[in-house]
Chain A
Amino acid sequence: MYDEKLIRRIKSGDMEALGVLIQKYYNDIYAYCYRRLDNKHDAQDVTQEVFLHFCRNFDSYTQRGKCRNYLYAVAHNLCINAMQKKTPIPLEDVERKSPYDDVAVDRFEAADCVESALNELPKEQKEVILLRFYHDFKLKEIAQIMDSGLSITKYRLSQGIKTLSKLLSKEDWI
């Protein structure tokens, strides 16, 4: 069902429409939060907070842009807040994951490699890559979500792709 129709139904007090909208976007927002926070429970909590924020501030939400973009913009801000609140883990406590341990690289390790490569990127570049390649946003939309200019978004994407290509080509598993 189209978002505009759902929003109109929600505005008229239809609670079922609200449930449909949440079900429609829950997985996407959760995936985005997970890739940014790297923790399932944190991602689920932030996803919940995104939808609660949407409901509490429904009046301030105007049907100017797409509902999906609005939810991602909220998720972007809440992820930043969550990352700031997160207690930093001392480096010595982190078990360094190495993709070179085993010659026969299984799916899990491959995913781990990509994750490591993404984590090597600066935060902004990582986010542009996530929104562009995992969530299929246009550059203009990414700029709106991240509240930044179009040219800087283009620059971040090209830099991100370059760095990521280098990092991934270093790995033998590709």
Chain B
Amino acid sequence: MKLNDRKIREDLKRFSVPAYEPDKMKETIFLAKKAYRERLLSKRIGFWEFITMQVRFIGRWVWLSQAALLIGSLCLLNRFHFGKADMQPVFLLLSSAASVIAFVGFPEILKSYAHNMEEIEECTRFSMRKLMGSRMLILGLADLCSMTIILAVSAAGNASLILRMILYLFVPFNLTCCACLTVLDHVKSRYDGYYSGAICVACIMLFYKLALDKKYYEAAATGAWIVFFYISIAYLAIEIVRVFQSFNRVCFNDETLSAKWQ
């Protein structure tokens, strides 16, 4: 610091400021908190901000299960697949893993509904429909990411069979999702989570059984599974829209909301 600056600084120190009133500071804090809360209420949030906000509300066990499933699948793929001509263990694994991946997310989608939370959710800032829709989107994207990683690792060893691998991965996944969404759309019950779980378990067993059958692979080669693939994607798209639209209907038809004022 220059000598001149130091001298000026010392001189300026003589100009002291009177102490502020502590009550005024308390008032400022109170008003600032109020202004911040009002801003939160009137604030419009963007789509991705809403989605990232909802990610935090998805249970940790879902992410842990998803991660465990992915790591387990990759470990098994590494053990069975690489350096072996026989692809059956890989296909078996892919088919089973796809249904299990779908199985993990469904109870979470129905969490609020299954725990009688719909009245509270409806009173809050986001409607039940938005919440359910966001959960479906987040878990759907997470499932797709997991399956893409499994597919990429599987295809790394044998790229010529990638189309068949896509079919073995996505047809069981799509069919499991279609079955669960059909239940959600047509059976209006608090036990939909259990029904979905039961359907997923049935699908896992079915595809595991099919994977052991050699005809199953031949069907994929002849193109029967390609037809299945397209049909399942179309049906899945329709069901997603129907389920999404039905959430408000489900909530407002419920007896808890039909109670009259005494």
- On whether the two chains bind one another, the answer is yes
Question: Which of A's residues lie within 8 Å of B, judged by CB?
Answer: 10, 13, 15, 18-19, 22-23, 26-27, 30-31, 34-35, 40, 43-44, 47-48, 51-52, 54-56, 58-59, 107, 110-111, 113-115, 118, 129, 133-134, 161, 164-165, 168, 174
Q: Check B25 against A114 for contact (C-beta < 8 Å).
A: no
Q: Of the candidates B11, B28, B37, which one forms a contact with A47 in the assembled complex, judged by CB atoms under 8 Å apart?
A: B28
- A110→B7 CA distance, assembly (Å): 15
Q: Of the candidates A19, A30, A115, which one forms a contact with B29 in the assembled complex, judged by CB atoms under 8 Å apart?
A: A19
Q: Which residues of B contact A174 (CB under 8 A)?
A: 11
Say how far A10's CB is from chain B's closest CB, in angstroms: 7
Given contacts A22-B29, A23-B29, A165-B8, contact A115 B35 (CB under 8 A): no
Closest 8 interchain pairs by CB? A114-B15, A55-B35, A110-B14, A55-B36, A48-B28, A31-B17, A51-B32, A44-B24
Question: Which of B's residues lie within 8 Å of A, judged by CB?
Answer: 4-5, 7-9, 11-12, 14-18, 20-21, 24-25, 27-29, 31-33, 35-37, 39-40, 43
Q: Check B8 against A133 for contact (C-beta < 8 Å).
A: yes
Q: Which residues of A contact B43 (CB under 8 A)?
A: 59
Q: Check B17 against A52 for contact (C-beta < 8 Å).
A: no
26 contacts between A and B (CB under 8 A): A19-B33, A22-B28, A26-B25, A30-B17, A30-B20, A34-B17, A35-B17, A40-B20, A43-B20, A44-B24, A47-B20, A47-B28, A48-B27, A48-B31, A55-B33, A55-B35, A107-B14, A114-B14, A114-B15, A133-B5, A133-B8, A161-B5, A161-B8, A165-B7, A165-B8, A174-B11
Q: Which residues of A contact B28 (CB under 8 A)?
A: 22, 26, 47-48, 51-52
Can you name 10 extra interface pairs (CB under 8 A) apart from A44-B21, A114-B15?
Answer: A10-B36, A15-B33, A22-B25, A22-B29, A23-B29, A35-B15, A52-B31, A113-B14, A164-B11, A168-B11
Q: Which residues of B contact A129 (CB under 8 A)?
A: 8, 12
Say how far A16's CB is from chain B's closest CB, in angstroms: 9
Q: Check A55 against B4 for contact (C-beta < 8 Å).
A: no
Q: Check A22 against B32 for contact (C-beta < 8 Å).
A: yes
Q: Check B12 against A114 for contact (C-beta < 8 Å).
A: yes
Q: Check A27 against B14 for contact (C-beta < 8 Å).
A: no
Say how far A174's CB is from chain B's closest CB, in angstroms: 6
- A127→B23 CA distance, assembly (Å): 28
Given contacts A35-B15, A40-B18, contact A164 B36 (CB under 8 A): no
- A44→B17 CA distance, assembly (Å): 12
Q: Which residues of B contact A13 (CB under 8 A)?
A: 40
Say how far B199's CB is from chain A's closest CB, in angstroms: 38
Q: Which residues of A contact B8 (CB under 8 A)?
A: 129, 133, 161, 164-165, 168
Q: Which residue of A lies closest to B12 (CB)?
A: A133
Q: Which residues of B contact A31 (CB under 8 A)?
A: 17
- A51→B27 CA distance, assembly (Å): 11
- A165→B31 CA distance, assembly (Å): 42
- A146→B32 CA distance, assembly (Å): 24
Q: Which residues of B contact A40 (CB under 8 A)?
A: 18, 20
Q: Which residues of A contact B16 (CB under 8 A)?
A: 107, 111
